Chain A
């Protein structure tokens, strides 16, 4: 499992359960290219729920956003740091570490 530090800015960008689910989706479908509505359908949410977290993940550099002049679409930012983040999200231990941090944040 990755030893990525929880203080890594990409890890700290995962500050909500929806973002964790979005990352888990991209971890198991790394070539996915979709809009907020499409990703929402796959995760059981609406586009309105996943839209803002997708935009924030794009701003944090985890995702890439395309379609400035058309429907915005999202895909993974293919770089070493994001691959390491995905390794973290792909492992049960990594996910529970992030999840407990999220619980702590909420508390």
Chain B
């Protein structure tokens, strides 16, 4: 079935290609959620990417304000106006309705004249000016949707929503949602006391499938970037791997505990407190992959590039060797972390650079950035599954905030999502602190039940071949 792409890659993925042609799409949201920007990007992309002229109907803005606001996102609407592929029409709801209703109406004529295929109406909330009663407003809105359908335009209609205190954020169901062919809901929600995050959700879409759920999005120069949640259909569409392939971790003694190494395409959580050697395991894993011709990606959300390079030098782990595959290091400041942008980088590296091993350091910055247990679990689920689909083997360093006790770790929600868990811990023994490593989980494969001591020296971490005896004492 043909689709009208929005031109916003992530949103088109959620909509499985775009909107059904000729549909009237409601875009609801709170102030600042990004309704107008989404609508403008839809019209701008139509004109610049798909050769579809568009119309912007605005009930409160002046044209030059729309042009100015779009320029801040990098879109030159004036050029499109000059080319005849865009018109911005400030008008009133009553005039719009009158001039759209008849074949000889000025707006109908304009649509025909420029061959418009897309229209943004910003916003339908202004129809309340024409008809104060809900019944009248419903009639007017139905008439509007029918007019738009008749015109053959694919239309986006923005609508302001006001969440009432005491009601849940998703409580409001408007009559406009019933009348429209599709409805998107945008929200701009507090993450903590100082930050907010934007989400888009497809509430309904007649005649087409979509990826359900609330998907994070950003508005930066260039417009909206939507980060879709994992679509479970990707797993069912993918042929099953015939056999389990083991990959060496590059950590002496660890492959033995894992009965051969990590499983290709699986994500393993490497959990433990600070300073126990999680970074070393990550580096060794990538260095081993590079030696075997597998490109790698190390994402640090806590250290600067310079600090990390010093750490690598101190460990004497050779990440770049002659003839080896490349290992890319990507560093982001913890305060700037966008978890879904990080995930998109991993996927982009897998698709474009053929990266097969990835290390993320650490999950704590992801958890802090999302500041919500359910969203963190969703992110880990998306990470694990999207990387599995791409055949990328990954280590998530860090583990859940707060506890490193093996039993507690096993009962956390993300322990059930990841494919494997390696724990690192400090063990008190005979008046000294020793460090121990254990494998808590390895999905579908056997593993050692030992807690084995290890040392960190030049070349990285080395796991002893025998278990820690402290528990036997």
Contacts and interface: CB of A to CB of B under 8 A. Distances in A.
Nearest to A64: B106
Interface of A: 25, 28-35, 37-38, 41-42, 66-67, 70-71, 73, 75
Contacts of A38: 91-92, 94-95
Contacts of A25: 62
Given A25-B62, A42-B62, A75-B106, A31 B95 contact: no
A34 B96 CA distance: 8
Taking residues whose C-beta sits less than 8 angstroms from the other chain, chain B's interface range is: 10 to 19
Interface in B51-108: 62-64, 81, 87-92, 94-95, 98-99, 106-107
B452 to A, nearest CB: 74
B90 A42 contact: yes
Contacts of A37: 92
A38 B92 CA distance: 6
Nearest to A24: B62
B60 to A, nearest CB: 8
Contacts of A30: 63
Given A33-B107, A71-B95, 10 more contacts: A25-B62, A29-B64, A29-B90, A30-B63, A31-B90, A33-B106, A38-B92, A38-B94, A66-B106, A70-B98
Contact of A32 (B91, B94, B99): B91
A33 B62 contact: no
B95 A34 contact: yes
Nearest to A72: B95
13 contacts: A28-B62, A28-B63, A28-B64, A31-B81, A31-B89, A32-B89, A32-B90, A34-B91, A42-B62, A66-B106, A71-B94, A71-B98, A73-B95
A39 to B, nearest CB: 9
B70 to A, nearest CB: 14
A44 to B, nearest CB: 13
B95 A33 contact: yes
Interface string B204-220: 00000000000000000
B347 to A, nearest CB: 42
Contact of B63 (A31, A34, A41, A70): A31
A29 B62 contact: yes
B190 to A, nearest CB: 34
Contacts of B98: 67, 70-71, 73
